[in-house]
Amino acid sequence: MSHSYVRLDKGNSAVLLVDHQTGLLSLVRDIDPDKFRNNVLALADLAKYFNLPTILTTSFEEGPNGPLVPELKNLFPGAPYLARPGQINAWDNADFVKAVKATGKKQLIIAGVVTEVCVAFPALSAIEEGFEVFVVTDASGTFNELTRHAAWARMSAAGVQLMTWFGVACELHRDWRNDVQGLGTLFSNHIPDYRNLIHGDAVKKAAA
């Protein structure tokens, strides 16, 4: 089934950070822990940079899943925070769905732990309700590559677009001339090679 190219629009997008909880993070084995943390924070930083409505949610915090990672709570002190009492699919929680719809946005950028459950279930549910869904693959984690690819295949077949945080940032920004320094700083903070590129360019310009 073919799908047309639907581009992210910063005026019509919201970010959903689903179940990035201290306990669940121990299950992520398909990506290096430090890289995963960096990618999650990069997504959070781009959400703030583009001023995108952001919703935080957790599931069964009192159990082994644990609380939301503190960095996200600190980054979004005023964002809607839905601690679901038990629903595995965030979309089964009426308050979560209400918060999503209250943003007024039709494009949902989703990331979470674990990919085939906490990400896939609400992504598929949102697609069914007419939203355009973009899953940030490198800010979502799971047990292994097998389960990851099974989840990606299922979501893709339903029309979910799979992206990385870097791709999301570039598509939202559209044009370097909108803010060279701001976007460059965002990339430099989370991509060491990009930091070197920016530094090298600055040195070259200073010597000219």
Q: Which residues are known catalytic residues?
A: 118
Asked if 46 and 74 touch (Cβ cutoff 8 Å), the reply is no
Phi/psi class of residue 32: alpha, beta or left (left: φ > 0; alpha: ψ in -120 to 50)? Answer: beta
CA distance 77 to 62: 21
Token couple for 116: 């085939």
Residue 135 token pair? 């899953």
Residue located via tokens 């943003």: 103
CA distance 203 to 44: 30
